Amino acid sequence: MKAPRRYGVWAAGVWLATLAAPGWAAEASADGRSLPPVVELGVGGAPATSPSREALADLLQQLESLQTELRRLRGQVELQNNEIERLKARQRDLLADIDRRVSELERRPAVVSGSETVPTAEITTSSVAGGVASSAQEQQAYEAAFNLMKQGHYDRATKDFRDFLTQYPQSALRDNAQYWLGEAYYVVRDFRKALTEFTRLMNEHPKSLKAPDALLKIGYSHYELGDRAKARDVLNQVIARYPGQPAAKSAEQRLAKMKKEGR
Establish if 245 belongs to a structural domain: yes
* Percentage, residues of the chain above pLDDT 70: 60
Mean pLDDT of 106-116: 40
Establish if 239 belongs to a structural domain: yes
pLDDT at 22: 46
pLDDT band at 204 (very low <50, low <70, confident <90, very high): very high
pLDDT band at 102 (very low <50, low <70, confident <90, very high): low
Mean pLDDT of 123-130: 36
Whole-number Å distance between alpha carbons of 261 and 263: 6
Whole-number Å distance between alpha carbons of 104 and 52: 79
- Here the CATH number for the domain that contains residue 145 is 1.25.40.10
Better-scored residue on pLDDT, 78 or 21: 78
DSSP annotation of 33:
-
Least confident of 69-83, 101-115, 208-222: 101-115
Establish if 19 belongs to a structural domain: no
Establish if 241 belongs to a structural domain: yes
pLDDT at 56: 85
Better-scored residue on pLDDT, 43 or 69: 69
pLDDT at 119: 43
Per the structure, the count of domains in the chain is: 2
Whether residues 227 and 186 fall in one domain:
no
Given 190, 225, 253, which residue is the final one in a domain? 190
SS (H, E, C) 55-112: HHHHHHHHHHHHHHHHHHHHHHHHHHHHHHHHHHHHHHHHHHHHHHHHHHHHHCCEEE
Whole-number Å distance between alpha carbons of 147 and 140: 10
pLDDT band at 216 (very low <50, low <70, confident <90, very high): very high
Whether residues 184 and 220 fall in one domain:
no
What are the pLDDT digits (tens) for 148-174?
998 889 999 999 999 999 999 999 999
Whether residues 183 and 223 fall in one domain:
no
Given 126, 156, 190, which residue is the final one in a domain? 190
| DSSP codes of every residue in 99-159 | HHHHHHHHHSPEEEETTEEEEGGG--HHHHHHT----HHHHHHHHHHHHHHHTT-HHHHHH
Whole-number Å distance between alpha carbons of 141 and 183: 18
Given 142, 161, 190, which residue is the final one in a domain? 190
pLDDT at 71: 83
* Percentage, residues of the chain above pLDDT 90: 43
pTM: 0.53
How does the average pLDDT of the chain come out, rounded?
75
pLDDT band at 82 (very low <50, low <70, confident <90, very high): low
Decide: 94 and 186 in contact? Cβ < 8 Å: yes
Whether residues 223 and 179 fall in one domain:
no
Establish if 251 belongs to a structural domain: yes
Sign, CA dihedral 238-239-240-244, equals positive
* Domain span including residue 257: 210-263
Establish if 89 belongs to a structural domain: no
Better-scored residue on pLDDT, 199 or 113: 199
Coil, strand or helix at 47: strand
Establish if 250 belongs to a structural domain: yes
pLDDT at 89: 61
Does the structure show a pLDDT above 80 at 80?
no
Establish if 182 belongs to a structural domain: yes
